[in-house]
Amino acid sequence: MNRQTFVGTESYLVDAALRDAVNVAVNIERPLLIKGEPGTGKTRLAHAIAEALAMELQIWNVKSTSKARDGLYVYDTVQRLNDARFGDRDIRDIRQYIKLGPLGRAFAAQARQVVLVDEIDKADLEFPNDLLQELDVMSFAVDETGETVAAKQRPVVVITSNNEKELPDAFLRRCVFHYIDFPERELMTEIVRVHHPEVEAHLLSELLTAFYWLREQPAIRKRPSTSELVDWVAAVTRSGLDADRVVKELPFLGVLLKREQDVDAAQEARVSRIPLRR
């Protein structure tokens, strides 16, 4: 197989560690497990990989009631029963009631696809273990029809977790793991530039200083993330406030902080802080 290389996209910037982790997962065909603070772009990574490698993306949003099999296929018995009662269709062919799930569709596809298994930790503890076998051999049997669906091309599987639950060791051993570290200032500047290329450099620098300062305040419980920073930059630039006032007043805090107590804490810290400039 040809080696494929992921380097990020125009709007999704990656650091070297994430780039290497993605490439190893893509090339040795193992699931990529992504963790990280909320708002660091875990889910968007799968979109970026699909875009960069020109593959189709299948999304599987895991819920607390999700079963591993849902990702492979669902046998729509209720539809079949309904058809049986009203005689709408010939119900003898069970195959028409087998609906492939996101993973199943990626297996059945001709070209290699990306599968996003989003927030795997929301599901039951057994969920990851139940998926192991299928992810290993990349094929599964449909019990109702006796058919086997085998992957023509092993899909790129991206799994995200918010650390709500510990994942089993056996599962972890088969994954490539990457923890998205919170972007450092340098990378963050580039990320904001992607979204707001017009922001004046001095203003951006002041905003970033304020942003990182806020993140360091111990009284703030829910620390603002990348996506919130991007929104904040938008709000500030549109308001036309100049850098000095921004530093002094920290306007539009509600964009960055979503808890009332955090906004209060930030205001308090702002009043008593040592001047922001380094």
Output the smallest distance, CB 13 to another protein, in A: 4
Contact letters (x/-) for another protein, 168-187, by CB under 8 A?
Answer: ----xxxxxxxx-x-xx-xx
**Minimum CB distance to another protein smaller for 187 or for 241:** 187
Output the smallest distance, CB 252 to another protein, in A: 24
Question: Applying CB under 8 A, does 67 fall inside the site for another protein?
Answer: no
Output the smallest distance, CB 242 to another protein, in A: 28
Q: What's the chain look like in SS3?
A: CCCCCCCCCCCCCCCHHHHHHHHHHHHHCCCEEEEECCCCCHHHHHHHHHHHCCCEEEEEECCCCCCHHHHHEEECHHHHHHHHHHCCCCCCCHHHHEEECHHHHHHHCCCCEEEEEECHHHCCCCHHHHHHHHHHHCEEEECCCCEEEECCCCCEEEEECCCCCCCCHHHHHCCEEEEECCCCHHHHHHHHHHHCCCCCHHHHHHHHHHHHHHHHCCCCCCCCCHHHHHHHHHHHHHHCCCHHHHHHHCCCHHHHCCCHHHHHHHHHHHHHCCCCCC
Question: Applying CB under 8 A, does 253 fall inside the site for another protein?
Answer: no
Output the smallest distance, CB 162 to another protein, in A: 9
Q: Applying CB under 8 A, what is the total number of residues that bind another protein?
A: 47
Output the smallest distance, CB 105 to another protein, in A: 26
Q: Which stretch binds another protein (CB under 8 A): 91-99, 144-152, 188-196, 207-215?
A: 188-196
Q: Which stretch binds another protein (CB under 8 A): 22-30, 54-62, 110-118, 240-248?
A: 22-30
Binding footprint of another protein on the chain (CB under 8 A): 3, 5, 7-10, 13-17, 19-21, 23-25, 27-28, 30, 33, 35, 64-65, 81, 85, 163-165, 172-179, 181, 183-184, 186-187, 190-191, 194, 218, 221
